[in-house]
Amino acid sequence: MTPPTQPDRHTDVGAYALGVLDAADAERFEAHLAHCDRCAVELEELMGLAPVLAEFKESAPTPETITAVPGPGLLDGLFDEVAATRRGRARRRLFLVAAAVVLIVGGPLAAVSLKGGSQDAPAPPLANAVRAQYAEGEKVSSVDPVTKVSAGVSMAARPWGTQVVLELANVKGPLTCDLVAVGKDGRRQTVTTWAVPKGGYGIKDSSAKWNREPLYAAGGAALNRGDIDHFEINTLEGRRLATVNV
């Protein structure tokens, strides 16, 4: 008897980034992600999409300055489309759906690439936008004396809390990690999660250019900027990689 065909987890990258996978599928994809450099690269390119959309919503131009406005149901429809696509339909359709979400943002993010390129390919526009967010915020950083992991956190106050961008370097995988904001009152809020492929991020002597580049991951916390005490970078198994005091 022929064993059942396992689903192609590569096609779940867009759905996972947009948060439309159910809990079971998300867990299976994270297990796949920890050992798949290809998916890790694609997921890094999509990181920060939600905060960028939120930022765009806050600073959207007035109706007089735009010629076409997406209907209020467009984004929900795109999310539904991604969810329907993730189980084995043509991968190209998934790319088009995710790209359509990015097009809502407009400007320099409209040409984001969802495909892993060569080692020397330029960074995709979305990745550049996350780097720009990191450069603009209030930054704190540290190097862990035990793990030697270098971590920088950039913060920007927002009406909903604090926009956070992480810069992570000198870390090798495979690992699945999270960034946690810890309040002065002890409250803990997960800012974002990601996977580190075997080649790692910010490895200075790596032969691959993208392994030499640090990881930039964007997210947000409901804590106000003044209420944050420190940030923790941990593996999902509970091992501490770095702590960044505010």
Q: Does residue 2 belong to any structural domain of this protein?
A: no
Please determine, for residue 237, whether its predicted confidence score (pLDDT) is greater than 60.
Answer: yes
* 3 in any annotated domain: no
Domain count along the chain: 1
Strand-pairing partners, residue 165, are: 154, 218
- H or E segment to which residue 210 belongs: helix 209-212
What are the tens digits of pLDDT across the range 50-94? 555 555 555 544 444 444 444 555 555 555 555 554 444 444 444
CA distances in angstroms from 222 to 22, 30, 181, 183, 189, listed in the order given: 23, 25, 9, 10, 8
Copy the structure tokens of residue 106. Answer: 């407009």
* Contact predicate 53/78, CB 8 Å: no
pLDDT band at residue 207 using 50, 70 and 90 as cut-offs: confident
In a domain, residue 36? The reply is yes
Residue 57 within a domain: yes
Calculate the average pLDDT of the chain: 73
pTM for the structure as a whole: 0.55
Percent of the chain with pLDDT over 90: 39
Burial 3-29 (b: 16+ CB within 10 A, else e): eeeeeebebbbbbbbbebbeeebbeeb
For the segment 15-37, the average pLDDT, to the nearest whole number, is: 76
107-111, 151-155, 162-166: which has the minimum mean pLDDT?
Answer: 107-111
Give the pairing type, strands 228-235 and 240-245: antiparallel
Q: What is the pLDDT of residue 33?
A: 78
**Inside any domain, residue 1:** no
- Please list the alpha-helical segments (H only) found in 47-189: 49-58, 74-85, 91-105, 125-136
Q: Is residue 130 part of a domain?
A: yes
Q: Specify the pLDDT at position 104.
A: 36
Confidence band for 18, pLDDT divided at 50, 70 and 90: low
pLDDT of residue 75: 52
Task: Give me the domain span that covers residue 88.
Answer: 9-245
The answer to whether residue 123 sits within a structural domain is yes
Mean pLDDT calculated for residue range 171-187:
95
Q: Is 174 a member of any domain?
A: yes
